[in-house]
Amino acid sequence: MIGAGQVQRSDVLIIGGGLMGATTAFFLRHQHKLSVTLLERGQIGRQASGVNFGNVRRQGRELAQIPLANRARAVWGRVRGLLGEDIEFRPYGHLRVCYTETQAAILEQHVRDVEPLGLELQMFSPQALRQRWGIFSSEVVAGSLSPLDGHANPRLAGPAFGRAARRAGAAIHEHTEVSHVERDGADFLAHSVDGRRFRAGQLLVTSGAWSGHFAAAFGEPVPLDARGPQMGVTEPLPYAIGPSIGVSTPVEVEGLYFRQIARGNIVFGGGLKGSAFADLQRAYVRPDNVLRQMRELRRFVPAFAQVQLLRVWSGIEGYTADWAPVMGPSARVAGLHYAFGFNGEGFAISPGVGEVMAELLATGQTSTPIEAFSIGRFAR
Amino acid sequence: MSEPTVVVVGTGPAGVRAAEALVEAGLRPILIDEGLRDGGQIYRRQPEGFKRDYAVLYGSEASKAHGLHQTFEALRQHVDYRSETLAWNITQGHLHTVQSSQARSDEIAFDALIICSGATDRLMPVQGWNLAGCFSLGASQIALKAQACSIGSRVVFLGSGPLLYLVASQYVKAGAKVVAVLDTAPLIPPLASLRGLLSRPLLLWRGLQMMVQLKRAGVALLKGVKPLRIEGRPDQGVSGIVVTDAGGRERQFSADALGMGWHLRAESQLADLAACEFSFEPLSRQWLPRMDPDGRSSQAGVYLAGDGARILGADGAEAAGRLAALAAMNDLQLPAGRVQYQLERDRLRQQLAQMDQFRQGLARAFPWPHQQAESLPDAAVVCRCEAITAGELRRCVNELGSRELNHVKAFSRVGMGRCQGRYCGHAAAEVIAAVAHIPVETVGRLRGQAPVKPMLMNACEVSSGAQS
């Protein structure tokens, strides 16, 4: 075997250089000084980590995720200093609006539910919404604003965490595809397809939609689906919209969201998902989805009819059967950990996931409740 | 068996000749035209009510323009012609179109698709080219053809290739003041170019004639120039250009407008969205869709013709359009098409091969000045839509470790603007290759993403789900 003589050993081995892997590698070095090796099949921060919407949103999550989201938000607040570069985090708020009184009641309930968890939201009447932003159609009947949330640039975030991790001493191996991992005494031994081997005392699987086969190989299969978000961006318009804005609805096709970047372009997404092929590493935007998104965006904000669409894109996201992430220690194998299956809403919490997983790997425990995300739930 | 649906995108010389062959065989093709009227770019029609005659509008090419327009008029009732229609996406066996003026969208299931999408200017940035008053050669020509306007009152043309001299002489003929024609090609063309150029002696002669006429009209004609900078102020636009001449002397020309371009680049985005394979063409240093001599792409049912696939010029486009249509009908096993394909194939292939010889001669005599990318100052804008400078691209290579164009795009926004990298993609690749010291083909090409061009978000969903 090529390179069989040289096996590098580190405290922690991470498989997958998306945001979850890159942030964990960074915090393992930055806060805990553990030695860490990260293996990435392609380049850092691609697929779901790079093509997503860039929402830094806490409201509207399952209540179990709020403490994690709060912890992530705290990291976002100091991310520029941590990374030494701007990844365009803009804390200009996150606004959820709705079309029905029934949904408005759900928003109001959510405001009450998250307040004891430390997340303060403000309800808006349709008049107040129109007064403050002046863009919504008459169908919009209520809104809830999370004033301290916002958005950031996903194209920059993953690579920036990867570089910061590398500067802090992490060994980052791009273009390194892992074929399989075996136990070797108390260690994990990972084999790359080109014959290199990597050894570590602990292993973290953060391979997004591709995590399933590693988990299955350790006897913990997870029902995981690959789907493609349908994203688009308009031509630049005069900068006017601070918050990231979405429709809260139980109807999937209505669920559009958008944000305006400093350059002036409006990035949008939502509605039906496109087809994604994890094995081919390809995901597609369906033309009928784009036309449907246009219809829903006009219904939401009529002025979209006068705006030009420049580009659409997709990527591969991992979805679990119960729409909760898989995060935490293995239920079967000591030293093995997981963080994947974030169901299209992982970006906002990624720095929190990294900080929590690093804490867990370094100390064996975490101050943030994550029991609800245990992989053990699929074995029951 | 019902009649197959054949769709032709584009109604320039390639598209019209393709449609003609289809109609001759008894088909009723769908013609998708982004423009208001047929003719494409080279034989662009003037707006209704304009009264310039063919000789004034098209010069030496008047009879060809007339011929093509006549053919289209005769075809008009035998085709499903859809003007002002953008083919914005392709999925397996389906072309997706929008007609913004009607807020309409359609999904057309095709048996064969012939893409005749033409070309746009190939541009190499010069410091200051983002000032108001800088146009591409094609845009300069459109101003004249469509609107009878000059781009300025004192115009300089910069670049290389036949279009440079053609546009300049059209401007002179129309009475515009052309100060200078600045050609970056070497003073003496390399010997290797001569064989190619001599393959179409009439064209070569016409080119030389044009140069003589320009000189007679008092236009300064310089070859072997190196552009240094375009001068001007953001609030006032272009005021002049500074170059070094073949002797290495610095020369300044005052002008209030500048037309620039280095040959053409194929509009290959539809082929890309159709998942056609591309290969690198080293002579012109660009990626082009792979195809066989008859225009078959790597995707079954998708055919390519005209300058959208290979820059052979208008005559080549007419031949390629016809050949691609015949090949498509042959492959669809239509008896009339099969017979015609057998009859004409060899002649058309031969014509195209000769024109390709000429293309190679031109590419050698008037080369793409890729070395300019290396000496482009850091402050020079490469991507005009997003105002991305050469320095920013170099930072992506030197500090962020990028070696691939789409990776640099993700970091820098190069090619993310309204033109989606049409006008900056080639130059950006050269800047990256030069600073990374790697061959330009390893830098790759910008991946095509829908929509093919900016698309107004007023389009309604496909109503029937079928073609007309």
Task: Write the residue in B89, B407, B416 that is nearest to A43 by C-beta.
Answer: B407
Taking all residues of chain B, what is their mean pLDDT, rounded to a whole number?
94
pLDDT in tens, A159-175: 999 999 999 999 999 99
* B256 has pLDDT over 70: yes
User: The tokens of B350 are what?
Assistant: 């031969």
Contacts of B413 in chain A (CB under 8 A): 263
Residue B173's identity, in one-letter code, is K
Contacts of A43 in chain B (CB under 8 A): 407
Q: Are residues A215 and A159 in the same domain?
A: yes
Residue B464 pLDDT class (50, 70, 90 cuts): low
In angstroms, the CA B249 to CA B242 distance is 10
The percentage of chain A sitting over the pLDDT mark of 70, rounded to a whole number, equals 98
Q: Are residues A129 and A98 in the same domain?
A: yes
Q: What is the mean pLDDT of residues B222-231?
A: 97
Q: Do B451 and A292 touch (CB under 8 A)?
A: no
Contacts of A253 in chain B (CB under 8 A): none
Nearest to A327 by CA among A9, A77, A62: A62
In a domain, A67, yes or no: no
Q: Do B456 and A308 touch (CB under 8 A)?
A: yes
In a domain, A368, yes or no: yes
Contacts of A262 in chain B (CB under 8 A): none
Q: Are residues A43 and A184 in the same domain?
A: yes
Query: B441: Cβ–Cβ under 8 A, 6 or more apart, which residues?
Result: B280, B282, B287
Q: Do A263 and B386 touch (CB under 8 A)?
A: yes
What pLDDT does B467 receive?
43
DSSP A262: T
pLDDT in tens, B89-99: 999 999 999 99
Q: Do B462 and A291 touch (CB under 8 A)?
A: yes
Contacts of A233 in chain B (CB under 8 A): 416
Q: What is the mean pLDDT of residues B414-422?
A: 95
Burial of B231 (0-12, 13-18, 19+ CB in 10 A): middle
Range of the domain at A281: 94-147+229-314
Q: Are residues A127 and A238 in the same domain?
A: yes
| Domain final residue pick, A289, A314, A339 | A314
In angstroms, the CA A357 to CA A21 distance is 9
Burial of B308 (0-12, 13-18, 19+ CB in 10 A): buried
pLDDT in tens, A130-145: 999 999 999 999 999 9
pLDDT in tens, A275-321: 888 888 888 899 999 999 999 999 999 999 999 999 999 999 999 99
In a domain, A60, yes or no: no
What pLDDT does B172 receive?
95
In a domain, A79, yes or no: no
| Domains observed in chain B | 6-120+265-361 (3.50.50.60), 123-262 (3.50.50.60), 371-443 (1.10.10.1100)
The percentage of chain A sitting over the pLDDT mark of 90, rounded to a whole number, equals 94
In a domain, A24, yes or no: yes
Q: Is the separation of the CB atoms in B341 and B330 below 8 Å?
A: yes
| Domain final residue pick, A292, A314, A336 | A314
Q: Is the separation of the CB atoms in B282 and B367 below 8 Å?
A: no
Query: Cα distance from A232 to chain B (closest Cα, Å)?
Result: 10
CATH of the domain at A292: 3.30.9.10
| Domain final residue pick, A261, A284, A314 | A314
* A44 has pLDDT over 90: yes
What pLDDT does B463 receive?
67
Q: Are residues A270 and A374 in the same domain?
A: no
pLDDT in tens, B375-407: 999 999 999 999 999 999 999 999 999 999 999
Q: Do A156 and B105 touch (CB under 8 A)?
A: no
CATH of the domain at A353: 3.50.50.60
ipTM of the complex: 0.93
* A375 has pLDDT over 70: yes
Query: B263: Cβ–Cβ under 8 A, 6 or more apart, which residues?
Result: B122, B160, B161, B163, B284, B311, B362, B363, B366, B368
Q: Are residues A243 and A138 in the same domain?
A: yes
Find the chain B residues whose C-beta atoms sit closer than 8 A to any C-beta of A: 88-89, 91, 94, 96, 105, 107, 386, 400, 407, 410-411, 413, 416-418, 420, 449-451, 454-462
In a domain, A115, yes or no: yes
* B288 has pLDDT over 50: yes
φ/ψ of residue A247, rounded to 5: -95, 130
User: The tokens of A363 are what?
Assistant: 């100390």
A297 touches chain B (CB under 8 A): yes
Name which residue leads in pLDDT, B199 or A196: A196
Q: Are residues A300 and A162 in the same domain?
A: no
Q: What is the mean pLDDT of residues B348-353?
A: 97
What pLDDT does A99 receive?
98
What pLDDT does B1 receive?
54
Q: Are residues A131 and A242 in the same domain?
A: yes
Q: Do B410 and A263 touch (CB under 8 A)?
A: no
In a domain, A89, yes or no: no
Q: Are residues A265 and A142 in the same domain?
A: yes
In angstroms, the CA A368 to CA A48 distance is 24
Query: B19: Cβ–Cβ under 8 A, 6 or more apart, which residues?
Result: B8, B11, B29, B31, B72, B75, B79, B325
Total domains, chain A: 2
pLDDT in tens, B11-69: 999 999 999 999 999 999 999 999 988 988 888 888 888 888 898 888 888 899 999 99
In a domain, A82, yes or no: no
Q: Are residues A307 and A360 in the same domain?
A: no
Q: Are residues A143 and A236 in the same domain?
A: yes
* B468 has pLDDT over 50: no
Query: Cα distance from A235 to chain B (closest Cα, Å)?
Result: 7
Q: Do A235 and B420 touch (CB under 8 A)?
A: no
Task: Write the residue in A285, A291, A298 that is nearest to B105 by C-beta.
Answer: A291
Q: Are residues A36 and A138 in the same domain?
A: no
The model's pTM: 0.94
Residue B196 pLDDT class (50, 70, 90 cuts): confident
Residue B233 pLDDT class (50, 70, 90 cuts): very high
